[in-house]
Amino acid sequence: MQRVFLVGMYGFMLLLAGAIQAADSKSVPLYNGKDLTGWRGQGMHDPAVWNDMKSEDREKTQAKYNDDMRSHWRAEGEEIINDGKGVYLTTDKDYGDFILELEWKMMKADGDSGIYLRGYPQVQIWDPACEKDKKLGADKGSGALWNNTDPKNGKFPLVVADKPVGEWNKMRMEMRGEKVTITLNDKLVVDGATMENYYKRGTPISATGPIQLQTHGSEMRFRNITIQELK
């Protein structure tokens, strides 16, 4: 009787897992391979403050950001390219729980970039060999939640997984609630860390927000950007 019960429970759990997986959306591209449709420009903003702006003020600011975006971001074949300046490339759509996958390439040594999740900084990207940023932790590698305050909570990656400057790196970011798990080049670098609210420490991050591609003074390229929304 006990064996039958356990087998029955196992079957039920398989069915439940299948139903949950089926409820998730399929992975979709965030770049159409032609232009920056689906993206806008945006500076560094607390998502809560941005959403609370008066609509007319937000529209005027957004128009300026979009002009800036067009000056520094471009679509070129399979790649999205930034010259190292300007606002961040930001999705029109907000996301809750998701799996975000992309590839990035740093074009010159000592580069600096990042990925904002729900509009919060950031999954850090930099050159581990950069001497000037060694004091900030660059030698520990890319792929961690650098704006977290607790080194035991994903501030630094578990391993250095970066490829040499000029080569493509593959990153996978899974976000469920406030928990983030990240792999870089198929190596686990963040394991279920809580993403801290950079803008208002000690309070939860927003349940939804945009994806942002940041660059900080050096040319960066991105490709194969996809997202799967999770229920």
pLDDT score at 6: 42
Confidence at residue 149, expressed as pLDDT on a 0 to 100 scale? 96
Q: How far apart are CA 17 and CA 168, in angstroms?
A: 34
Q: Tokens 């593959």 identify what position?
A: 170
pLDDT, averaged across the chain? 92
pLDDT for 44 beyond 70 = yes
pLDDT for 82 equals: 98
Neighbours of 204 (CB within 10 A): 12
Q: Which CA distances in Å does 29 have to 97, 117, 166, 226?
A: 16, 17, 24, 4
Mean pLDDT of the 141-147 span = 98
pLDDT at residue 107 tops 60 = yes
Tokens coding 8? 């029955």
Q: How sure is the predictor about 216, in pLDDT bands with cuts at 50, 70 and 90?
A: confident
Determine the topology of domain 26-230 in CATH. Answer: Jelly Rolls (2.60.120)
Q: Map out the domains of the chain as residue ranges.
A: 26-230
- As a whole-number percent, the residues of the chain with pLDDT over 90 amount to 87
